[in-house]
Structure 1
Amino acid sequence: MSLIKTDDQIEAMARAGRLLAACHREIAKRIAPGVTTLEIDAWVEAFLKRHDATPEQKGYMGYPYATCASVNEVICHGMPANDPLEKGDIVTIDMVVNLDGWLADSAWTYGVGPLSPVARSLMKTTHDALQAGIRKAIPGNRVGHISHTIQTLAEKKGFSVVRQFIGHGIGRRIHEEPPVPHFGPPNSGKILKAGMVITIEPMLTTGSWQAVIDKDSWTARTRDGSLSAQYEHTVAITSNGPRILTDQNS
């Protein structure tokens, strides 16, 4: 499939993105001590079904759930579980929505009750890094302008950027070209062109950026047990600047 999407195709992805954003707004009301990520997962699947959409990652390469749920030191691809969330936890809920064959992808980190100052700072910096990266998603820039901006902001605040997992193009498939790292030199990667649609999804940690994978072959956690947060949007490159297709405020 072409890297360049038509206006109609981007609008179809925007419809999926609006549904995904609405789902995240509802999740924010449900995250609380005592709730399990398995309960959140079941709610998400039912929500999407009510809106004639499907969770794209369910069944993808054998993944069994509608969402990924990554708690505390889990970086990404955590499996929903029956363990109740506790005060002070942070949990990232990541999902890909398929609406009429077009996809949108977004992850969000939620705090469970009162958080430590370190956890709050990590979450704020990760979200700030996402927003800074999005501002570089304009025609004529390279992917590396996004990457370098995110890494510079994160490391200036004392956090590390995970290297093993990166953003990507998206459309009718979850992973399309181009790859979108969150680290590296500014003049690297593909030149961004109007019509491209990508995910920007920085994962930051309070310690080492290195990850280890659990025996389930999915769950990625920090090697040193440090906290990790992630925020992700699906973004269209347009001649008028970046268009966030999964904006929760739209």
Structure 2
Amino acid sequence: MIELKTTAEIDRMHVTGRFVAEVLTEVGNLADVGVNLMDIEHHVRGLIKQRGAESCYWDYAPSFGEGPFRNVICLSVNDAVLHGLPHDYALRDGDVLSADIAVSIDGWVADSARTVIVGTPDEQDQRIIRATEVALEAGIDAARPGNRLGDISAAIGAVAAEFGYKVNTEFGGHGIGRTMHEDLHVPNKGKGGRGLKLRPGLTLALEPWLARTTDRIVYDEDGWTIRSADGSRTAHSEHTVAITEDGPVVLTRREGEQH
């Protein structure tokens, strides 16, 4: 069932979104050479507890995962792009780290992801991160009343194509609100003018993710971590967005973010 949120309910999601943005900003600041992924995981656990929030990942057990997820943040390194399990790994110079987090505060959820480079940046890594960021902004701009769901997918896919990247449509954006995953799947590629007509009150998590040289994925033995099938590096950007009469409102925008 698709639930349209009231203005007051969107405001409550925005409270959660601001916290999620703060956490991702802090994770980006923490991501440095020698920092262990488990140290980041435990730090974020502390932030969530201190805020009185609830992790949407802890005990999460969807059909595509291997048992309950027992972490509060997804941390995916280099060729890993989605659902990366935090583990005993010290970040190295030049690593690409994608961090994805969803939490609930007072019953309302926000979900966001960002990709950062640890230490010395590589030009191609910067390029693919930029592609996901530009694609995300294009998708957000298309999230307007009167447009169709396919317009969002087409906008994201067009940017990926302009940058020369292939798009995997197995995992993409989704509805969000009272839970992390609500009805509506938002593929990262599609045809404009098709699909559900967008209305004020619709809240979506939009999340373009890309690999440098493939659109195929493989799973780690942990049953969660998703990697590019050819080992090429990846990037992931995500925001929670509310569609309003006045256009899209980003509920997880980070302070100082350049879009």
TM-score strictly above 0.5? yes
Give the 3-state SS of the residue equivalent to 1:40 in structure 2. helix
Give the 3-state SS of the residue equivalent to 2:244 in structure 1. coil
Verify the 8 A CA contact 1:204 1:230 in the aligned structure 2.
yes
**Cα shift at 1:2:** 4.4
Verify the 8 A CA contact 1:45 1:54 in the aligned structure 2.
no
Distance 2:167 2:47 in 1: 32
1:20-59 → structure 2 map (5 Å cutoff): 20-59=20-59
Corresponding residue for residue 183 of structure 1: 189
Give the percent of matched residue pairs that are identical in Structure 1 and Structure 2. 38
Distance 2:228 2:121 in 1: 19
Distance 1:205 1:6 in 2: 37
Find the partner of 1:71 among 67, 77, 84. Answer: 77
Deviation by residue 1:116-150 (Cα, 9 ceiling, x = unmatched): 11101111111111011100000111111111111
Residue 161 (structure 1) aligned with residue 167 (structure 2): yes
Verify the 8 A CA contact 1:129 1:149 in the aligned structure 2.
yes
Verify the 8 A CA contact 2:94 2:118 in the aligned structure 1.
yes
Residue 201 (structure 1) aligned with residue 204 (structure 2): no
Give the 3-state SS of the residue equivalent to 1:48 in structure 2. helix
Residue 233 (structure 1) aligned with residue 239 (structure 2): yes
Give the 3-state SS of the residue equivalent to 1:237 in structure 2. strand
| TM-score normalised over the length of structure 2 | 0.94
Distance 2:252 2:196 in 1: 23
Corresponding residue for residue 65 of structure 2: none
Residue 89 (structure 1) aligned with residue 95 (structure 2): yes
RMSD, matched Cα: 1.1
Find the partner of 1:113 among 102, 108, 119. Answer: 119
Any unmatched runs of 5+ in structure 1? none
Residue 220 (structure 1) aligned with residue 226 (structure 2): yes
Give the 3-state SS of the residue equivalent to 1:60 in structure 2. coil
Any unmatched runs of 5+ in structure 2? 62-67
Q: Which moved more, 1:102-111 or 1:187-196?
A: 187-196
Distance 1:95 1:23 in 2: 8
Corresponding residue for residue 143 of structure 1: 149
Distance 1:216 1:24 in 2: 24
Corresponding residue for residue 64 of structure 2: none
**Cα shift at 1:79:** 0.3
Verify the 8 A CA contact 2:56 2:103 in the aligned structure 1.
yes
Corresponding residue for residue 251 of structure 2: 245
Corresponding residue for residue 8 of structure 1: 8
Verify the 8 A CA contact 2:165 2:213 in the aligned structure 1.
yes
Give the 3-state SS of the residue equivalent to 1:25 in structure 2. helix
Q: Read off the aligned partner of 2:92 and give its amino acid letter.
A: E
Distance 1:94 1:74 in 2: 12
